[in-house]
Amino acid sequence: MSVLDTPNPRRAESAGQRETAEQGKRPASTRRAPRGGSRSSPLDRTGTGTRIVILVVLVLALLWTLVPLVWMVLSSFKPATAITSAEPSWSFTPTGEHYAGLFTGGNELIPYLWHSVAAAGLSAVLSVVLGAPAGYGLARSEMRGKRHLSFWIISTRMAPIAAVVLPLFLMFRQVGLIDTIPGLVLAYMTFNLPFAIWLLSSFFSDLPPALEESALVEGCTRWQAFRHVALPLTKPGLVTTFVLCLVFAWNDYAFALVFSGPDSQTLPIAASQLVTQAGIDWGQLCAIGTFVVVPMMLAGLAVRRWLVTGLTLGAVTGE
């Protein structure tokens, strides 16, 4: 459901459309039809002046957005002298030395990588596995106090990290979870689990209950109706939730800074450790940055269609 006053065709369609999706994807053009139609109307004939302004804004925005990223990736392939030259150098002989340097010598990136994958991956999997039934329960529940429960869930998601880190640090110290992967996973669950519950409940409430009701009439138990009807229809929701949980945990620095040690440090920590009193190895930093950033960009763009729903916790739906 959307906060928009207008009905949202995409979303209304999506539940029913998913079944037809197997028989053949509806051509994108039919879905876009209304937008294409509106463009032919006279008011959309954008004047040349406006068009130039729009182009200029977009070019500036693209430069502002992409230059740092491109510069980072370029620098990760530059020889050290080209990186620290006073004049920015655009032509250079590419080298893989910084990437190689991350895995040899004093630096051994593999453990960091493994910690990142384990902590972020596990917390994302657990969040979805626990969040899916909980989100479904929340969506279909008619109990009193449901609003309070919802509010509690969202406020745990939004709690400032700094405020959560403090008590968790004492608790983890007490039970020996500092510098362990389970400790990090638990820490990430403090924001990923409420996120998953809330977001999945919003995906589930968009499913018409009639589908599950007819499954019940056919003799399914409620669990079977959830497992075999609701769950498959919410696949995009599950994937989106998983990806976003993964991104949040993978990108975390504040928790890892406090809870991790030599046995659990993650990639963002590895990146920040390249900043030393003696100076910064920018080549390696750019390499590590590329390493951290690229997988999450790919994952994020893979779920772009559901990104708005995901990032607004289901409050806005759309493209």
Partner 1 sequence: MNASEDVREPLKRRRNGAASRHVGFTGRMMLPGIVPLAALTVLPFLTIVVMSFSDVRLLGGMRLDFAGLKNWGRFFTDPDMGWFWLRTAGYFALTLGLEMVLGVVLALCVWRLVRGRNLVLSLLLLPMFVAPVIVGLLGRFLTDPTFGLYTWLLERIGYDGDLLGDTFTAFAAVVAMDVWEWTPLIALITLAGLSAVPPTLREAAALDGAGRWQTLRHIVLPSISNVLLVALLIRAMDAIRYFDIIWVTTNGGPANATKIVPVRLYETAFRFFDFGYAAVVGLAMLFASIVVARLFVRMLDRKGLAR
Residue 302 sits in the site that holds partner 1 (CB under 8 A): no
- Cα–Cα distance measured from residue 93 to residue 100, given in angstroms and rounded to the nearest whole number: 16
With vertex at residue 316, the alpha carbon angle to CA 46 and CA 238, rounded to the nearest 5 degrees, is 125
Asked whether the beta carbons of 229 and 211 are under 8 A apart, the reply is yes
The 8-class DSSP code of residue 179 comes to T
299 binds partner 1 (CB under 8 A): yes
Distance CA 244, CA 123 (A): 11
What are the residues whose beta carbons fall under 8 Å from the beta carbon of 185, sequence distance 6 or more? 118, 119, 122, 123, 126
**Which one-letter DSSP state was computed for residue 113?**
H
Site string for partner 1, 19-58 (x = CB under 8 A): ---------------xx-xxx-xxx--x---xx--x--xx
Stretch that binds partner 1, among 12-20, 106-114, 169-177, 232-240 (CB under 8 A): 169-177
| Binding of residue 75 to partner 1 (CB under 8 A) | yes
Residue 104: burial class (beta carbons within 10 Å; 0-12, 13-18, 19+): exposed
Single residue of 15, 80, 117, 296 touching partner 1 by CB under 8 A: 296
- Contact pattern from residue 190 through residue 219 relative to partner 1, giving x for each residue in contact according to CB under 8 A and a dash for the rest: xx-xx-xx---xx--x--------------
Tokens in use for 86?
């006073």
Output the CA–CA distances (angstroms, integers) from residue 276 to 164, 272, 281, in the order listed.
28, 9, 9
68 binds partner 1 (CB under 8 A): yes
Q: From the CB of residue 129, how many other CB atoms can be counted at a distance below 10 Å?
A: 13
Cα separation, 97 vs 134, in Å, equals: 48
Q: Does 138 engage in binding with partner 1 (CB under 8 A)?
A: yes
Among residues 94, 171, 214, 235, which is the contact residue for partner 1, using CB under 8 A? 171
Q: Please state the closest distance from residue 311 (CB atom) to partner 1, in A.
A: 6
Shortest CB 231 distance to partner 1, Å: 12
Query: Which residue, 26 or 173, is less far from partner 1 as judged by CB?
Result: 173
Q: Are 128 and 201 a contacting pair, CB within 8 Å?
A: no
Could you give the residue ranges of the DSSP H alpha helices within 206-281? 209-217, 222-224, 231-233, 235-250, 254-259, 267-273
Which x/- pattern, by CB under 8 A, does the window 92-121 give for partner 1? ------------------------------
Among 117, 130, 220, 231, binds partner 1 (CB under 8 A): 130
What's the closest the beta carbon of residue 96 comes to partner 1, in angstroms?
Answer: 19
Q: Scan residues 231-260 and list those touching partner 1 (CB under 8 A).
A: 247, 250-254, 257-258
Residue 150 binds partner 1, judged by CB under 8 A:
yes
In the bound state with partner 1, the residue whose beta carbon lies nearer, of 239 and 299, is: 299
Stretch that binds partner 1, among 18-26, 94-102, 158-166, 176-184 (CB under 8 A): 158-166
- Of 19 and 158, which CB lies nearer to partner 1 in the complex structure? 158
